[in-house]
Structure 1
Amino acid sequence: MKRLFAIAIACACSLAAPAAAQDLLIRGATVHTADAAGTLKDHDVLVRGGVIRAIGRDLPAPAGAAVVEAGGRPLTPGLFAGLSGLGVEEVSGEAATVDGNLALGTLVPPQQAVWRPEFDLDLAFNPASMAIPVSRIEGLSFTVLAPGAVPGGSLLAGQGSAFVLDGSHAPLAGSRSLFINLGSDVSPLSGGSRAGQWMLLEQAVSDARNGSDELLTRAGRAALARYLDGGRVVFHVDRAADIRQTLAFARRHGIRPVIAGGAEAWQVADELRAAGAPVLLDPLLNLPYDFDRLGARLDNAARLHRAGVTVAFSQSGDATHNARKIRQLAGNAVANGLPWEAGLAGLTSAPARIFGIRDRGRIAVGQVADLVLWSGDPLEVTSLAQQMWLAGKPVPMRSRQTELRDRYLVPSGELPRAYVK
């Protein structure tokens, strides 16, 4: 076990070691650009200095460049892992390894301000987390840290940024967002009423604008104020009526809203388009299993796309350890009417645009070379990521899980498997 742990840590840390990216030519791929160029068959991609320098046919290989013969296989940008706790959640069932939730309400006197939008999840990010390679070998290259909603917390869950899963510590510039949780799932945080949620949120905005301290600390007022009049705020909300209220709240306070969840978003597609509000969907949530999601349906993504709403994907439930399943979300949306190119964009260029990431998410000249070569259609769960490059550097396609698999698939000899080294 110690050996496997050491191997996994070495895999996670190897990408962080400083090294010049080797020139790379990927030849003869089916290049899914996730950009205006669409899909380019039998094309080459040239990478120099970790950046895509040319896309075309019969590109010459620079001296000393690594050449990969794609043989027509699909090449995509690195995929979005969704809103997750990758890097801040190691074992979901062991509280000591989970840093994504803030619950101060049970620790301080009731009269003390406990809403803490200044909570910054970036500070806990661990690029050596063993959960990261498990997702990375499935083609996932970046994620956005999202604080969770917990008893004793608040509707203003805190802040999180985008991180590349390459072993680096720094968040991507311009990606930081504030997260607000709404709806019946968090009604205990607002006195048992969703009407109370809007009352409390308006009070928090008043505190931030006027310097009062009913709900927020001085640091909390400063943090919330940065998102008023132009900041990006991700609202976890599902019910159509709540989405309408969210859009109205955002208009009143100059917020750029992003809807996460959006089970009934198709019912307010025109309002979302008019507000320029993108939606992060889990298309597998298609059953009315609670009163906020009575209108859930399989073609939610397709309807939003036809209305002109930007659609991306994010896993619900155990979003950290199931992040690698996000391709299934996009595949289900495509199976229910979303165009294939839009399905891929929902895992690449769309989330990059939503979170202000300008140099990733597309295969285009000048973009950072985060690339994945697939065995087949990347939206099919039977396809595998055969090789990934982050900033032009090849990623070790192994994790603690693959090491365990390989160890215990060793053919039995004279000694029991436990003795096989």
Structure 2
Amino acid sequence: MSRVLLVSARCRAWLGTTALLMLAALPVHAQDLLVRNATVHTASARGSLEHTDVLVQGGIIRAVGAGLVAPAGVSVVEAAGKPLTPALFGGITDIGIEEISGESATVDSTLKLDDQPLRPEFDVSLAFNPASVLIPVARLDGIGFTALGANSGGGFIAGQGGVMRLDGSADPIGPLALYIRLGAAGAELTGNSRAAQWMLLEQMVSEARGRVPADSPHALLTPAGRATLARYLAGQGRLVVQVDRAADIRQLLRWAGRENVKIAIVGGTEAWRLAPQLAQANVPVFVDALGNLPSSFDQLGATLENAARLRAAGVQVSFAQRDDASHNARKMRQLAGNAVANGLPWQDGLAGLTRVPAQVLGVGDRIGSIEVGKLADLVLWEGDPLDVGHYAEQVWLGGRAMPMRSRQTELRDRYMTPASTEPRAYSR
């Protein structure tokens, strides 16, 4: 036991030191620059523009066009026709609220309470650490923002989370979202019956709307929980619901329509079965584009064409991973690339990593596309950004050039150096 504690303490100390070094390396001021002669994938109505320049001043995109002149003092980056995209969405993750999943002291995404476990007021963004060692790792793959997602612990209403830019900022940049888990994945938290989820939701709605006395001995929510849920019922924020089975999605659409709330679906393995209804209700879906096997009874209709079928019906499509999303945010490009390989148009694949999640999560007015007036969150690529065989050459967030290194690259460089006369552990 003492040996385990010693290793854990050393790991925490090392992680903290590395994170501080990474944060200290970030430039302090926004950079003015002109990216010249790029293939600019705007992720907007303008689409992709060849031989195009992007002017950034004060961290804001000031102009997008051909033949732009760099004002005095503005540095020029020659793109030589390479792809330039908005910074990518890292998915719904625990980046910044989790360091090592097996070390509970570093995980802040889950609330576990025996008494009154349904706490919609729980906000994981309050624990966000902008010096997390996971942030530089994600940025190396062009990721500039992520949605912090609360995870179900003691209740199927997991809590709230916000959108975080991975530029060293400590606070969310937009509204919070409330995370809910339905179907088989949440049944163990609702008396082992998915039918009970709707019963509990109905009672919570009644409490939030004031139809149940606040001092009722059978109340499910605290006063703060009632106030939080009431805001979402009033349309001030979006409910992000993890659900897969078509039957459960159908019930969710009925409930959301009856209560007039904004929802988004995460997972949605069988969402393609209800594509027209989702499009009509304007419900976006964060798809696991690698889901191709019925790994549970909720996913019997799994298909790699899920994203393509949804988009063809008019559904807004983005992407989300199921497992270890925080440490594997780089796989988001693989999800989008696989969706494109199975019928999703390339422009929609890019939009699913940029504009769509930004709009769905309430920050599309600031990030998610290359347009005049938006934050200069940009990535210059060596090749096709939806092909994992290519890589990001440079990431700018708010016009600042991000260090293109991480804990992983520093370890690589350390152990690839020529051997010295000292033992390997003492080479540095």
Say yes or no: TM over 0.5. yes
Task: Find the aligned partners of 1:419 and 1:227 in 2 and give their Cα distance.
Answer: 56
Task: Find the aligned partners of 2:186 and 2:79 in 1 and give their Cα distance.
Answer: 48
> Residue 264 in 1 paired to residue 267 in 2?
no
> Residue 369 in 1 paired to residue 393 in 2?
no
> Residue 406 in 1 paired to residue 402 in 2?
no
1:5-16 matches, within 5 Å, as 6-15=17-26
SS of 1:89 mapped into structure 2: coil
- 8 Å Cα contact 2:385-2:391 kept in structure 1: yes
Identity %: 58
Distance apart, 1:115 and its partner CA: 1.1
> Residue 67 in 1 paired to residue 76 in 2?
yes
- 8 Å Cα contact 1:46-1:53 kept in structure 2: yes
Distance apart, 1:163 and its partner CA: 0.6
Counterpart residue number, 1:218: 223
1:305-344 matches, within 5 Å, as 305-344=311-350
Alignment-mate amino acid for residue 176 of structure 1: L
Task: Find the aligned partners of 2:148 and 2:19 in 1 and give their Cα distance.
Answer: 22
Task: Find the aligned partners of 2:161 and 2:139 in 1 and give their Cα distance.
Answer: 20
Task: Find the aligned partners of 2:20 and 2:157 in 1 and give their Cα distance.
Answer: 34
Task: Find the aligned partners of 2:155 and 2:422 in 1 and give their Cα distance.
Answer: 56
Counterpart residue number, 1:350: 356
Task: Find the aligned partners of 1:7 and 1:119 in 2 and give their Cα distance.
Answer: 29
SS of 1:221 mapped into structure 2: helix
Aligned residues: 410
> Residue 304 in 1 paired to residue 331 in 2?
no
Distance apart, 1:3 and its partner CA: 7.7
1:125-136 matches, within 5 Å, as 125-136=128-139
Task: Find the aligned partners of 1:53 and 1:147 in 2 and give their Cα distance.
Answer: 36
Task: Find the aligned partners of 1:412 and 1:4 in 2 and give their Cα distance.
Answer: 26
Task: Find the aligned partners of 2:371 and 2:34 in 1 and give their Cα distance.
Answer: 14
- 8 Å Cα contact 2:19-2:132 kept in structure 1: no
Alignment-mate amino acid for residue 229 of structure 2: L
Give a deviation string over 1:218-268, Cα, whole Å, max 9, x none.
Answer: 111111111003141101100011011111111111110101110000000
Counterpart residue number, 1:252: 258
- 8 Å Cα contact 1:4-1:400 kept in structure 2: no
Distance apart, 1:137 and its partner CA: 1.2
Counterpart residue number, 1:209: 209
Task: Find the aligned partners of 1:272 and 1:46 in 2 and give their Cα distance.
Answer: 38
SS of 1:44 mapped into structure 2: strand
Task: Find the aligned partners of 1:185 and 1:12 in 2 and give their Cα distance.
Answer: 37
Match of residue 235, structure 1, among 220, 235, 241: 241
- 8 Å Cα contact 2:178-2:240 kept in structure 1: yes
SS of 2:297 mapped into structure 1: coil
Alignment-mate amino acid for residue 252 of structure 2: T
Counterpart residue number, 1:56: 65
Gaps of 5+ in 1: none
Match of residue 121, structure 2, among 118, 123, 128: 118
Counterpart residue number, 2:36: 27
Runs of 4+ with >3 A deviation: 1-8
Give a deviation string over 1:96-148, Cα, whole Å, max 9, x none.
Answer: 1000000102xx3xxxx331111011111111111111101110000111011
Change over 3 Å in CA distance of 1:4–1:103 after alignment to 2:
closer
SS of 1:46 mapped into structure 2: strand
Alignment-mate amino acid for residue 416 of structure 2: L
Change over 3 Å in CA distance of 1:49–1:303 after alignment to 2:
same
Alignment-mate amino acid for residue 181 of structure 2: N
Counterpart residue number, 2:4: none
Distance apart, 1:336 and its partner CA: 0.1
- 8 Å Cα contact 2:18-2:133 kept in structure 1: no
Task: Find the aligned partners of 1:85 and 1:385 in 2 and give their Cα distance.
Answer: 23
Gaps of 5+ in 2: 1-10
Greater Cα offset, 62-71 or 205-214: 205-214
Give a deviation string over 1:69-112, Cα, whole Å, max 9, x none.
Answer: 1111110000001100011001001111000000102xx3xxxx
Counterpart residue number, 2:387: 380
> Residue 360 in 1 paired to residue 367 in 2?
yes
SS of 1:82 mapped into structure 2: strand
Distance apart, 1:13 and its partner CA: 4.2
Task: Find the aligned partners of 1:215 and 1:319 in 2 and give their Cα distance.
Answer: 31
Task: Find the aligned partners of 2:384 and 2:109 in 1 and give their Cα distance.
Answer: 33
Match of residue 141, structure 1, among 140, 144, 152: 144
* TM-score normalised per structure 1: 0.95
Task: Find the aligned partners of 1:384 and 1:138 in 2 and give their Cα distance.
Answer: 7
**CA RMSD of superposed structures (Å):** 1.4
Distance apart, 1:348 and its partner CA: 0.1
Task: Find the aligned partners of 1:238 and 1:323 in 2 and give their Cα distance.
Answer: 21
Alignment-mate amino acid for residue 93 of structure 1: G
Counterpart residue number, 2:182: 182
Distance apart, 1:4 and its partner CA: 8.1
Distance apart, 1:6 and its partner CA: 3.4
Distance apart, 1:332 and its partner CA: 0.2
Alignment-mate amino acid for residue 58 of structure 2: G
Counterpart residue number, 2:191: 191
SS of 2:209 mapped into structure 1: helix
SS of 2:232 mapped into structure 1: coil
- 8 Å Cα contact 2:31-2:401 kept in structure 1: no
Task: Find the aligned partners of 2:323 and 2:202 in 1 and give their Cα distance.
Answer: 29
- 8 Å Cα contact 1:4-1:404 kept in structure 2: no
Counterpart residue number, 1:95: 104
